[in-house]
Structure 1
Amino acid sequence: MSLLYALLIGAIAGWLAGKLMKGGGFGALINIILGIVGGIVGNWAFGALGISVSDGIFGDILTGAIGAIIILFVAGLFKK
Structure 2
Amino acid sequence: MDIVTWIVVGLVAGLLASAVVGGIGYGLIGDIIVGIVGAVLGGWLFATLGVSLPFSGIIATITVAFVGAVVLLLIIRALRPGPRGRS
Q: TM-score, normalised by structure 2?
A: 0.85
Equivalent residue for 1:67?
68
- Segments of 5+ residues of structure 2 without an aligned counterpart are 82-87
Aligned to 1:20: 20
Aligned-partner Cα distance in 1 for 2:16–2:56? 18
| Residues 15-50 of structure 1 deviation map (CA, whole Å, 9 limit, x = unaligned) | 000000014332110010000000000000000000
Identity %: 34
Please tell me the root mean square deviation across aligned C-alpha atoms, in Å.
1.3
**Letter of the 1:17 counterpart:** A
Q: 2: CA distance between counterparts of 1:33 and 1:17?
A: 12
Q: Which protein is bigger by CA-based radius of gyration? A: 2
Whole-Å separation in 2 of the counterparts to 1:31 and 1:79: 17
Structure with more of its chain in helix, by fraction: 1
Aligned residue for 1:45? 45
Q: How high is the TM-score relative to the length of structure 1?
A: 0.92
Aligned residues: 80
CA shift in 2, pair 1:76/1:23, >3 Å: closer
CA distance in 1, matches of 2:78, 2:32: 22
| Structure 1 unaligned spans of 5+ | none
